[in-house]
Structure 1
């Protein structure tokens, strides 16, 4: 991708007659034709197409406005494909370091609300304080659990404590 201060073309050329016009850069063309000095002449130009002639136009990035959800129907060239692949790929170590680098400030979660109802009554919302709430005679009808599972996420194999907890769970079920 070349900069607007580098891309040159012939202004006023007539390809049918073979005449060449004045050669100038994209940045100079916008300064002369539109009286607009580019703020960022070192940015690369966008390749646009001019109508039905399929004539390539190099447009400075700062003057182009993209419509939301606008797509490019032309496939990427080899340099662009390589750039996309390079920018979107990262090694496992880099990804691990990025994930482990996420740090959030600790916060105290608000106390939960317990919603229950006595038979034939409206829902009762109780705010839990110090881990206790009154639930005497206030239960939903709970279905039996037919199947259940335990997921263990850790770097190492389950140790003896984890195995004992699982065995106790199986014993009570």
Structure 2
């Protein structure tokens, strides 16, 4: 991609008559025609197409405004594809440095505490050591259920899965 201070074209040329006009750079053209000195003449120009003539236009980046969700329908050429690939990929050294930046000094976390309510209905705090703790005889005594029932209020007949669960 060439800079606006490097790209030259003929101003006032007539292709039908074969006459050549004055040759000037894109930066000089904007200074002369629009009385606007480019702030960044070293930035590359954007290639645009003008109307039905399909004539190439080189527009300085600083004067172009993109509409939200605007996209280019023309496929990228091989140079542009290579540039996008190299700019969007990181080398192994850069990735290694990024990964090493994630590493933090290790620390030992305190052992967890298990809190539950015992039969006397007071909180019991059990300190875990070596990944296990003793909780026998610390739960409510649950009565045995001798009989139970399920009430089914749906309009349709229960399917096989429901019947198997109930049996």
Shorter-normalised TM-score: what interval?
0.5 to 0.7
> Unpaired segments of 5 or more residues in structure 1?
168-173
Once residues 84 and 52 of structure 2 are traced to their aligned partners in structure 1, the CA distance between those partners, rounded to angstroms, is 29
| Contact 1:116–1:140, Cα closer than 8 Å, also in 2 | no
Distance 1:117 1:90, change over 3 A: same
Which residues in structure 2 correspond to 1:136-155 (within 5 Å)?
A: none
Who is 1:10 aligned against? 10
Q: CA deviation at 1:68?
A: 1.4
Work out whether residues 111 and 128 of structure 1, in 8 Å CA contact, stay in contact via their aligned partners in 2.
Answer: yes
Partner deviation per Cα, 1:17-47 (whole Å, 9 max, x = no partner): 1111111110000000000000111111000
Deviates more, 1:45-54 or 1:93-102: 93-102
What whole-Å deviation, never above 9, does each CA across 1:39-65 have from its counterpart, x for those lacking one?
A: 111111000111222111000011011
CA contact (8 A) 2:49 2:56 kept: yes
- Structure 1 length as normaliser, TM-score? 0.58
Aligned positions, number: 167
Q: CA deviation at 1:90?
A: 2.7
**Unaligned stretches of 5+ residues in structure 2:** none
CA RMSD of aligned residues (A): 13.9
